[in-house]
Amino acid sequence: MAFTRDTSAQSNLSLDEQQLVTFIESGVEDAISFLEEIVNINSGSMNFSGVRAVGAAFADELEPLGFKTWWVDGEAFGRAGHLFASRGHTGPHFLLIGHLDTVFELDSSFQKFTRLNENQAEGPGVIDMKGGDVVLLEAVRALHAVGALDQMTVTIALIGDEESSGSPLEVGRASLVEAADAADIALAFEPGDGDPQTAVLARRGFTGWEVHASGVRGHSSAVFSEEMGYGSIYEAARILTGFQEQLTGQELLTFNPGLILGGTTVEFDEENDRGSAVGKSNVISEKTIVTGDLRTISPSIREEVKTTMRAIVANHLPGTGAEILFRDSYPPMGMTQGNERLLALLSQASTDAGYESVRAGNPADAGAADISFAAGRVEMALDGLGMTGEGTHTTTEWADLSTLPMQTIRTAILMHRIATAWQQ
């Protein structure tokens, strides 16, 4: 569907805000042309030259607006790196977050932007999240055009490895954390849950886990015996059943075993999430590996769940052993009063501009994202401010182009109003 603006609501906007709307609406086709340009640059996470090229395209747009830009090299964490930009030293300090990379590498069949009709276009990363990056760019461009950018401090972080994070992750996100420590408000431009009438106030964090189970290798005729025990596969099955029985049903908690390998010998390629196993039906399994993810809404719940999982793992079947390893990745973005206040301001900006109100999305419908590294370090944070459509991470990804001006107008008015109130 196309999202249109009720122009009769224009009287609710200040003169500067009306100028913002006019500027944004007059530049929509130019913004779509730039979107086409950057979508047509392959920037799969492992195509380092492509990621840098998209970053350079944004730097070329930002520098004429008075931004200082710099590239954070990614060699230390095995990726291309990130584009950062900054402008100003007064007023509220906004941190605007996007990412340059997509899930579509050079060998993907999905490589080009295609305009389907007036309000639809498809292409790799068109909403996840090059469309969101363009919303970010056009909002600051409009604020610059009406002179409002001078009333605020803006730092822009366009991350180069959001879709396939480098390692160590803490090194890869150090520059983002540093920027968040200096900021007051964080805004991020992911497509959220796909509904432009919602914004993301909270996201669950992501923790990876691995279970390594062991057994005594021997002939299957002796399985369950005191001497040979149950074998590693039964032990892994016991553990997974324990997770399911003791942890399911808790709100906003999920834990998913995504890969399992078991047999007499196992080879596991952790970097590429793949492996092989050799075993026979008449041989008791000696080794089993299970990998999965854990998603929680707060650090305290995450640690409670880890404690329960460790206890389940430690209650071994006879003749077996097991351990569980955790790797915290993206932290949770908790629901805060500051985030709720920011949503109220965004919703008011939306209705005053002639669009529908904006409500909070369900955290269960939003995956992990880079704003989680910033949200706990600022007074207020919101995500889901980017263009929307459908089919993210698939070869049918498409954008609703009518959400480009809508999301841009909302963001620009929101930032303008916060900066105006800051001076009073």
Distance between CA atoms of 302 and 330, rounded to whole angstroms? 12
**What's 222's DSSP letter?**
G
What is the amino acid identity at position 329?
A: S
Residue 1 has pLDDT above 70, yes or no: no
| Chain segment 74-130, per-residue pLDDT in tens | 999 999 999 999 999 999 999 999 999 999 999 999 999 999 999 999 999 999 999
Q: Which CATH class is domain 7-203+332-423?
A: alpha beta
List, for residues 292-329, the tens digit of each pLDDT value: 999 999 999 999 999 999 999 999 999 999 999 999 99
Helices 28-39 and 131-145 cross at an angle (nearest 10°) of 140
Model pLDDT for residues 215-269, shown as the tens digit of each residue: 999 999 999 999 999 999 999 999 999 999 999 999 999 999 999 999 999 999 9
Provide CATH 3.40.630.10 ranges for the chain: 7-203+332-423
Share of residues in the chain with pLDDT > 90 (%)? 93
Split at pLDDT 50, 70, 90, the class of 8 is: confident
Token code pair at residue 12: 């609710």
Mean pLDDT (whole number) for 193-210: 94
* Mean pLDDT along residues 32-50: 98
pLDDT of residue 78: 96
**Nearest Cα residue to 422 out of 144, 19, 188, 90:** 90
Portions of the chain given CATH number 3.30.70.360? 205-328
Residue 178 predicted with pLDDT over 80: yes
Residue type, 132: G
Across 408-421, average pLDDT? 98
CA distances from 254 to 20, 41, 350, 365 (A): 42, 36, 33, 12
- The DSSP 8-state label assigned to residue 225 in this structure reads S
Q: Exposed e or buried b for every residue in 143-181, given b needs 16+ CB within 10 A?
A: bbbbebbebbbbbbbbbbbbbebbeebeebbebbeebbe
> Judging by DSSP bridges, how do beta strands 153-159 and 81-87 pair with one another?
antiparallel
**Domain 205-328 falls under CATH 3.30.70.360:** yes
Type of residue at 75: E
Question: Measured between alpha carbons, how far apart are the two ends of the chain, in Å?
Answer: 40
* Helix (H/G/I), strand (E/B), else coil: 219: strand
